[in-house]
A and B are shown apart, each in its own frame.
Chain A
Amino acid sequence: MSFMGKFKRFWTAEEVPRWFGLSLVLVYLVGLGSVGYLTVCQVREESAVEYFNTQRYAAHSLATQLATIASQYDNPASVQASGEYQRILRKFASNVHTHSLRIVGDSRRVYASIIADEIGQLCRRVPGTAAAANITNPGHIFELPANDERGAAHYFQTKIAQRVTPHEPKTSPATDNNDSHPSTDTKDPNDSKTTTATTQIVEAIYLEAVLPAEPLRTTAFVDYAGALSIALVVIGVLFVLYRGLRTQLRSVSAIADRLQSPIDAIKGDLAALRMADTQDAVATAWNQLVELAADLQEEVNRAQANRELSAALAGSSGTVLAKALNAMPDGLLHFAHEGRLEYINAPACRLIGCSEDEAKSTTLGTLKSNDLGKRILEVIQKALRTDGTFEAYNEIIETADVDNAYRTWVIPLQGGRQEGEAIVLVRDVSQALRADRSREDFVAQVTHELRTPLTNIRAYAETLSSGMFDDPKMVTDCYNVITKETRRLSRLVDDILSVSQMEVGSIELELGDVDLKQLFSDTVTDLRGLADEKNIDLQIQPPSKAGRIKGDRDKLSVVLINVIGNAIKYTPEGGHVIVGCQVAEDEITLTVKDNGLGIDSADHVRIFEKFQRAEDPDVQNETGSGIGLYTAREIVRRPGGDIDLMSEKGQGSTFLVRLPYEESRADAMSVSREA
């Protein structure tokens, strides 16, 4: 940066290197001091010169006058009595600043003086004066610089001739040797230029004046210099004040600049008014003020938003919005800061256990609630921070009987005037939770179910391949187990796949011609082994009207196997299972009747849901995935059929599978009923 740049910054009290500022100040002070000193010296010199000139003139004039008077007297003593001498001396003294002025004779007797007491006295010797003044040179003016006890002083001495005898007064006084050049008397004392008789000096008398050397007045230069010094001092003082003020005012001017923005822009962004971080006290105070204003504005906006939202929600009664909010199944609440309740819909009132009136003007802590409500409010409380705002949170509450579950979401509002407030949603998730738990249980059970046949297959396969057991019966048994377990595994996989397909609704029926009798026969073959294991009497009554129907053979096979397989599974040893088929005009009914465990009426609906089984312990003792009946019903419902159940616990069960009957056009043969 150039010198001028630095100087400009210095002048405007901006930051510059300290050395620069100090240098400028030093130069200023030295200059000021130098000017002052020079002025003083000049004043002294000039005034001294002026003074001397003035005194010389005055002394010369005085001496001339005195000599004229002296020539009129015969002796010095007459001078003493001369009032003329006194008058002239006093006149001189009044015009010239002098300490003493007197006429002194050779004998040092004072003949005249401006100090009356000295007249007639012997005066003391003035230090430095020549004791033997040149008496032979009357009329000379001597300048004798001398000091006395009062300080520097200059003396003038002049000689005034004193005649012995009086003459007629002459026109030309014996003063032509009164010149103003001290010590340059070149006149011969005996060479008088007067035309009068020679004056005989009886006694020389001297004019003795003590004049101070102090300057009497200043010249124009001194005036200017003095004024300049004063001006420089004043400027210096003002500059210091200016710099001090500017530092303070800089912050204020910056604030003023920021406030030049349009008021709307300021309102929209108070934070922009902040000053950059600074040590300056004014800027710090301003920033605090801006923050306070921003907080207040936010508070006002928040309150305004609250009023608008509450008015919209509350005032919406009777409108579509209010109806919708009250009709939704979920509880909805709006909490403002510090847990103030702004809105609650009807479902939330029911869940929490309060009326709309009771909920008015309440807070989290004061809202009336039942047991469930209390727990819901506790969840909301967990999301309330110490500063009164909400954070995101959700939690499931399960009722004591574990039958119902409610998930509570606390959703904080982001941005804008509602920052920190929260919308709370309370949703009944009982069904979803049950479904989740069922699914988890199902996965565990399915895994177990899948691994069991796999274990068997693997174990028996290794047994075969090890060759350790070469008994032929053993070998045959191993093969049989492997085969059976493979089928079991395959069926299970199909069931699980069907369930998945049904979940996404993608099950497709491949319609074809289905020979009912054949279908029955194949099913019985598959299940005969299972029935024989438990010594169950499996009776198959062929269809009353044999024939072919339109349907999906594989899916129908699944239905039969699941329903009949269940009957066999849940019938104790020695029981019976009877399978029949009635063909009506437009419907086929398959009946599967057993004398097994029976199903409690409370479970009649459950057992058709996926992953659900009867809660009967005897049923639980049997392994099952809980999807057989669900699968069967889904398959049957696709073409418009259904499965009905008649059963009581301990009294066996009868399942009725009803299917719409559409005779295949390809074959319309009739089958006689078998005995």
Chain B
Amino acid sequence: MARIIIAEDEAHIIRILSMWLQRNGHEILEARNGKMALDIARREEVDMLITDVHMPTMMGFELVEKLRTELKKNIPVMVLSSSCERGRIETTLAPHNVRVYPKPFTPSRIVAEIDDMLSAHAV
């Protein structure tokens, strides 16, 4: 049972992820861009962030950086990426301890991955 922010400008993706994660008992806080996600994280207690990279207003890189340096939240972060950018994303976000997950994804597998990350962090 975790509170998870999903930052994604694609409505269908937010919807399908929310459905699966809620089915697993998690609470989902939706944000359509990075700025919205940061605002949520600032005011709410959350356990995890799932974010896309390319979003209007604030890109995923900036969101993660601000989460770590300004809000000083050490929660698990999963970044959804196209595989052609994976290397660049991993390099850029290496200091921030994130896990990069490729798109397109299979909902069941990504949900399992998210549960693993939450369990590992809890330990």
A-side residues, CB < 8 A to B, are 443-445, 447-448, 451-452, 454-460, 462-463, 466, 468-469, 474, 481, 485, 620-623
Contact = CB atoms under 8 A, between A and B. Distances in A.
A623 B56 CA distance: 8
Contact of B103 (A455, A468, A481): A455
A466 B57 CA distance: 35
Contacts of B105: 455, 458-459
A623 B85 CA distance: 17
| A contacts with B: majority SS | helix
Contact of A469 (B9, B13, B19, B104): B19
A444 B54 CA distance: 10
Interface string B98-111: 00000111111000
Contacts of A620: 56
B72 interface: no
B16 interface: yes
A623 B9 contact: yes
B85 A444 contact: yes
Contacts of A448: 53-54, 82
B120 interface: no
Contact of B84 (A447, A457, A459, A621): A447
Contacts of B17: 459
A438 to B, nearest CB: 16
A611 to B, nearest CB: 15
A131 to B, nearest CB: 136
A621 B9 CA distance: 10
B57 A621 contact: yes
A456 B106 CA distance: 10
Contacts of A444: 82, 84-85
Given A456-B12, A459-B17, A459-B106, 7 more contacts: A447-B85, A448-B54, A451-B82, A458-B104, A459-B104, A460-B12, A463-B19
A535 to B, nearest CB: 15
B10 interface: yes
Contacts, number: 64
B56 A451 contact: no
A620 B56 CA distance: 7
Nearest to B20: A463
Contact of B107 (A459, A621, A622): A459
Interface in B29-84: 33, 53-54, 56-57, 82, 84
Given A447-B82, A451-B104, A620-B56, A459 B13 contact: yes
Nearest first, the 6 A-B pairs at minimum CB distance are: A621-B56, A455-B104, A459-B16, A458-B104, A456-B12, A454-B104
Nearest to B80: A455
B82 A466 contact: no
Contacts of B53: 448
Given A447-B84, A458-B106, A463 B56 contact: no
A466 to B, nearest CB: 7
A456 B104 CA distance: 8
Interface residues of B, number: 23
A459 B54 CA distance: 19
Contact of B13 (A452, A463, A623): A452
A457 to B, nearest CB: 8
Nearest to A455: B104
Interface in B3-19: 9-10, 12-13, 16-17, 19
Contacts of A457: 104
A37 to B, nearest CB: 101
Contacts of B20: 463
Contacts of B107: 459, 462-463, 466
A313 B23 CA distance: 81
A460 B9 contact: no
Contacts of B10: 452, 455-456
A462 B103 contact: no
Interface centre among B13, B57, B82 (most CB of A within 10 A): B82
A169 to B, nearest CB: 155
A367 to B, nearest CB: 41
Given A444-B85, A451-B82, A466-B108, A456 B56 contact: no
Contacts of B54: 445, 448, 623
Given A447-B84, A462-B107, A621-B57, A456 B13 contact: yes
B57 A468 contact: no
Contacts of A452: 10, 13, 103
A451 B101 CA distance: 13
A485 B12 contact: yes
A303 B23 CA distance: 86
Contacts of B104: 451, 454-455, 457-459
Contact of A460 (B16, B57, B84): B16
Contacts of B9: 623
Contacts of A463: 16, 19-20, 107
A468 B82 CA distance: 27
A479 to B, nearest CB: 13
A151 to B, nearest CB: 116
Interface centre among A452, A454, A457, A621 (most CB of B within 10 A): A452
A474 B18 CA distance: 13
B23 A468 contact: yes
A454 B33 CA distance: 20
A459 B53 CA distance: 18
B113 to A, nearest CB: 14
Contacts of B16: 456, 459-460, 463
Contacts of A466: 107-108
22 contacts: A444-B82, A444-B85, A447-B82, A447-B85, A448-B54, A451-B104, A452-B13, A455-B10, A455-B13, A455-B105, A456-B10, A456-B12, A456-B16, A458-B104, A458-B105, A459-B13, A459-B16, A459-B106, A466-B107, A468-B23, A621-B56, A623-B9
Contacts of A458: 104-106
A622 B108 contact: no
Interface centre among A445, A455, A462, A463 (most CB of B within 10 A): A455
Nearest to A466: B108
B85 to A, nearest CB: 7
Nearest to B17: A459
Interface centre among A443, A457, A460 (most CB of B within 10 A): A460
Nearest to A452: B10
Nearest to B85: A444
A462 B108 contact: yes
B52 to A, nearest CB: 9
A219 to B, nearest CB: 114
B57 to A, nearest CB: 6
B82 to A, nearest CB: 5
Nearest to A622: B56
Contacts of B13: 452, 455-456, 459
Contacts of B56: 620-622
Contacts of A460: 12, 16
B103 to A, nearest CB: 5
A622 B108 CA distance: 29
